[in-house]
Amino acid sequence: MNATQLKRCYATLQLGVGKADGRLTLTDNILHFEALNKQLSLGSYAIKLNNISRVEKCSGKAAGMLPITTSGIKITTKENHHLEFILAEPDEWLNCLQASH
């Protein structure tokens, strides 16, 4: 069975001081991030929506410390793994993800 794509955009994955630009896709059961530059090894992530425990706004940071934008969302899984994404329309993504899990 194919998953239905609900939302898609370019986003920046923020892992401490490391950042990777890529595509963030929300389907009816998975949140998927695919980095554009495969050489950085900052990944491909596929998070099942039923494994997301919390979604909240966060800030984008320069050098992993200095807030530079409020256009971020933070995903926390049930295993307490955190992923932060800087993207356009964070409130819209927040609402979609909160409704989906």
Write out the E strands in the chain: 5-15, 18-27, 30-35, 44-48, 52-62, 66-77, 82-87
Q: What is the pLDDT of residues 26-84, one digit of tens each?
A: 999 999 999 998 776 667 899 999 999 999 999 888 777 777 888 999 999 999 999 99
The model carries a pTM of: 0.88
Is the per-residue pLDDT at 2 higher than 70? no
CA distance 10 to 8: 7
Which pair of tokens denotes residue 79? 């295993």
